Amino acid sequence: MWKNILFTVTLVVSIPIASQKNALQLAISDSVNLREVLVSVMLPLNNKDIVDFYRTNQFSTLDNITARLDGMSLIKRGAYALEPQVNGFSGGQLNVTIDGMRMFGACTDKMDPITSYIEPTNLKKISVKQGTGSCQTGCNIGGAVDMTLLEPEKDSAKTHFSSIAFGYESISKGKNLLVTLGLGKKKWDWLIDGVYRRNENYTDGNNQIIPFTQFEKTNIHSALKYNANKISSFKADALFDLAHNVGYPALPMDVSLAQAMLFAVEYQRKTTTELKAKIYYNQVIHIMDDSKRDSLYLLKSKPLEKSDSVYMRMDMPGKSSTLGAYAQLILLWNEKNKLTLKADNYTNNSIAEMTMHMRYARFAPEAPMYMQTWPAMLRNVSGLFAENSTYLSDKLNLVANGRVDFNIDNLQSKYGQEQFSVFNYSLAKTQSKWVKSLNLLAQYRFSNSISLIASTGYAERMPTIGERLGFYLFNAYDGYDYIGNPYLKAEKSNFFRLDLQFTQPNIKVNLNQSFSAINDYIMGITNSQIPAMNFYAKGIRVYSNVSQAKLYSADLQVLYSPLKTLTAFLLSKFTLGEINNSNPMPLIPPLKNVVAIQYEENNLSLQAECETALAQNRINIAYGEQATPAYAVFNVKSGYRFSLSKLGFNAGLGISNLLNNAYFEHLDWGRINRPGRSVEFYLKVSY
């Protein structure tokens, strides 16, 4: 196995923020700070710049922000809970964590990526790492997204702070309310932040209402910190997120309840050696609901005007809870070397059920049809991670990291085994597997303004529970039911990346290219032996290892400030994917560009943005893809800051989709138009 690892690399999409003289400050990850941050002009362009650039709208959902990060795209099934994709990788190929904590959605149909349970208000920063080197939180082949929760911090000037804000979006009659409150006393710091959002169905560029795009959510996060002394601190976090009445226009059902709870306790000790230890528990409950849908909704041969002669209702609850802990040590073991060690363990317990109730008009209801779409399963993963950064000279830095994960899957009831006996599997109650990752990164600084980062890596990742043991998971994109494969092999990737950075006081350029050669790529392959589960489904696809797949991505980012008051930003993202004999990989976005200009003087800011995407004609027809036309969308935003006595005010007004274009992106399921022209305003009062 290790023979395969010729060179491995990392790709940490990051942008090392290294000072000229000190390896100790070398940071390889790229973070996006969502709040006020001091930015040194000479730092290379990173996600923080982009978020700062877009921070004008306080009411952005996390999706609005991540959509503008390099390498990131979003898979859209409705107006809510977009699923992150990094360079063509998504789902189990990525690690999405909260402060390094693992958390898993409870929906078998990926309707609740965990980013949907977090609000920008909850966050201090979001960091995106691309490629296999992002294995600090777990072996993965695509990348990692880590969201750092907001921390209460002592402001030297104030012992308390509070703000309240209200925003409105005309297109969905969207109302947003945000509250933040912080208190500090002696060694204690406390904060609470929360959001309430309510959106009705939006209207597209053709002035048509898009049904089932409504959603409503409440989110509260609170943190308490105790600073024992200058080096040691304890912190406790609690987060509660509740979404209900969430429409998914691209799916045959909606969500009546998606609820997440998270609790964490952390200890930190910072001397020349940094220690961080954390224990956490989280729980996600996700209940799908089709009570508002015509049960013939997706039926191709549905007679016109006829609705619901058959009453089929599906009840699909899912539950996922995770208990975990990690300890991390950062050691400067000599002047030129920094070592990070991390040991972690988590146990995830999940189950998803489906009960179908069929009733023909004027007949008694049939016996309920029950199955476990995810059989009750416990997955325990124990991992060890090590990374060493070496500062060789002013010009050259080297980073090597590696990780092993030991994974045990344990079925919690006979039901899973019995279900899979239908497919002639005699399924072991317990299965275990090792996965590993090894990566290397070199940064070479040609001059103060130009540097090159080359990285390479090898990684494996475990199949997800759905991929291993999913039982008739309906995929509304291709219309097939997906069935797991208990004996899937780990997906493997050989990864290569080049990052070229150019930095001058008034211009920052970042050009990166990533290439992944993937073996045992996991995707659903049509199996005509197994009959489709219901009238909706076109057939059955079984998760299988496809021997080879390739993904290539290139991103260009330019941030240019010709004048002190004027900044221009350009982002181009491009991804190319293929599976086996040069078939296009499905669900790959076309070239996308964002160009924005911002004028900022005194308390006023004005911003105009143009977002364009080429048509995507490189599609996988067998998978069920259709070509997507090109589009261009224009947005304008303005913001104004002022104060009255002790109160600070932030007001903003903007128009999204200025020309009211009807468009959708290639990753939008169901080819459902995005919102048309929307007027947005917000007002924030802080004290």
Q: Which of 421, 643 has the CB closer to another protein?
A: 421
Comparison of 229 and 529: residue with beta carbon closer to another protein: 529
Q: Which of residues 379-438 bind another protein (CB under 8 A)?
A: 415, 417-424
Q: Quick check: 482 and 17 in contact, CB under 8 A?
A: no
Nearest-approach distance from CB 365 to another protein, in angstroms: 10
Least distance from C-beta 418 to another protein, angstroms?
3
Identity of the residue, 531 or 562, whose beta carbon is nearer to another protein in the bound complex: 531
Least CB distance to another protein at residue 525 (A)? 15
Please check whether residue 340 is in contact with residue 347, taking contact to mean a CB–CB distance below 8 angstroms.
no
Sign of torsion over alpha carbons 99, 7, 3, 388? negative
Read off the tokens for 211: 């049904």
Whether residue 411 contacts residue 426, with contact meaning beta carbons closer than 8 Å, is answered with: no
311 binds another protein (CB under 8 A): no
Residues 663, 664, 668: CA angle, nearest 5 degrees? 170
C-beta closer to another protein: residue 269 or 538: 538
- Is residue 238 a contact partner of residue 263, using CB atoms and an 8 Å limit? yes
Which of 183, 236, 371, 566 forms a contact with another protein (CB under 8 A)?
A: 371
Phi-psi region of 143 (alpha: psi -120 to 50; beta: other; left: phi over 0): left
**What minimum distance in Å lies between the beta carbon of 408 and another protein?**
24
Distance of CA 598 to the CA centre of its chain: 27
423 or 649, CB closer to another protein? 423
State in angstroms the smallest separation of the CB of 363 from another protein. Answer: 10
Candidates 549, 548, 424, 539; CA nearest to 486 is 424
Q: How far apart are CA 634 and CA 38, in angstroms?
A: 30
Q: How many helices (H) and strands (E) does the chain have?
A: 4, 33
Q: Which window, 163-171, 360-368, 516-524, 623-631, contacts another protein (CB under 8 A)?
A: 360-368
Q: What are the two backbone dihedrals, phi and then psi, of residue 652, each rounded to the nearest 5 degrees?
A: -145, 150
Minimum gap (Å) between residue 422 Cβ and another protein: 4
Q: Is position 358 an interface residue for another protein (rule: CB under 8 A)?
A: yes
Nearest distance in Å: CB 417, another protein? 8
Applying CB under 8 A, which part among 235-243, 353-361, 634-642, 675-683 lies near another protein?
353-361
The residues near 660 (Cβ < 8 Å, ≥ 6 apart) are 205, 207, 676, 677
Total residues at interface with another protein (CB under 8 A): 29
- We find the least distance from the C-beta atom of residue 107 to another protein, in angstroms, to be 19
Closer CB to another protein, residue 312 or residue 672?
312
Q: For another protein, what does the binding mask look like between residues 613 and 652, x meaning CB under 8 A?
A: ----------------------------------------
Residue 388 or residue 526: which is nearer to another protein going by CB? 526
Q: How far is the CB of 210 from another protein (least distance, A)?
A: 29
Ramachandran area for residue 65 (φ above 0: left; ψ -120 to 50: alpha; else beta)? alpha
DSSP state letter for 51: H
Q: Which is nearer to another protein, 53 or 374 (CB)?
A: 374
Closest approach of Cβ 358 to another protein, in Å?
Answer: 4
Beta bridge partners of 370: 355
Q: Which is nearer to another protein, 262 or 537 (CB)?
A: 537
Stretch of 159-167, 263-271, 363-371, 431-439 contacting another protein, by CB under 8 A: 363-371
Q: Which stretch binds another protein (CB under 8 A): 184-192, 330-338, 352-360, 497-505?
A: 352-360
- H, E, C per residue of 5-25: CCCCCCCCCCCCCCCCCCHHH
Task: Please check whether residue 256 is in contact with residue 242, taking contact to mean a CB–CB distance below 8 angstroms.
Answer: no
Binding to another protein (CB under 8 A): which residues in 461-490? 471-472
Shortest Å distance, C-beta 533 to another protein = 5
Closer by beta carbon to another protein, 80 or else 420: 420
> Residue 588: which of 32, 14, 144, 142 has the closest Cα?
142
Structure tokens at 48: 């923080």
Of 273, 302, 368, 622, the residue at the interface with another protein (CB under 8 A) is: 368
| Tokens coding 215 | 């959603």
CB of 148 or CB of 295, closer to another protein: 295
- Assess 369 for contact with another protein (CB under 8 A): yes
Quote the strand ranges of 580-671, DSSP E: 583-584, 592-601, 604-613, 631-644, 647-656
CB of 112 to another protein, least distance (A): 24
By CB under 8 A, the residues from 525 to 584 that bind another protein are 529-535
Nearest residue (CB) to another protein, 469 versus 594: 469
Q: What is the CA radius of gyration of the chain?
A: 25
Look at the chain and count its residues.
687
Window contacting another protein (CB under 8 A); options: 130-138, 208-216, 368-376, 674-682: 368-376
Cβ at position 376, least distance to another protein in Å: 13
Nearer to another protein, 415 or 634 (CB): 415
Between CA 409 and CA 186 the distance in angstroms is 46
Query: Please, what is the minimum distance in Å from the beta carbon of residue 304 to another protein?
Result: 21
CB of 470 to another protein, least distance (A): 13
Quick one: 223 or 473, whose CB is closer to another protein?
473
Tokens 């350009």 belong to residue: 570
User: Are the beta carbons of 48 and 33 closer than 8 angstroms?
Assistant: yes
Stretch of residues binding another protein (CB under 8 A), selected from 116-124, 332-340, 364-372, 602-610: 364-372
Q: How far is 227 from 65, CA to CA, in rounded Å?
A: 32
Q: Return the residue matching tokens 């990173």.
A: 46
- DSSP class per residue in 520-584: EEEEEEE-TTSPPSSTT--EEEEEEEEEEEEEEEEEEEEEEEEETTEEEEEEEEEEEEEETTTEE
DSSP 441: E
Positions in the binding site for another protein (CB under 8 A): 310, 312, 356, 358, 360, 366-371, 415, 417-424, 471-472, 529-535
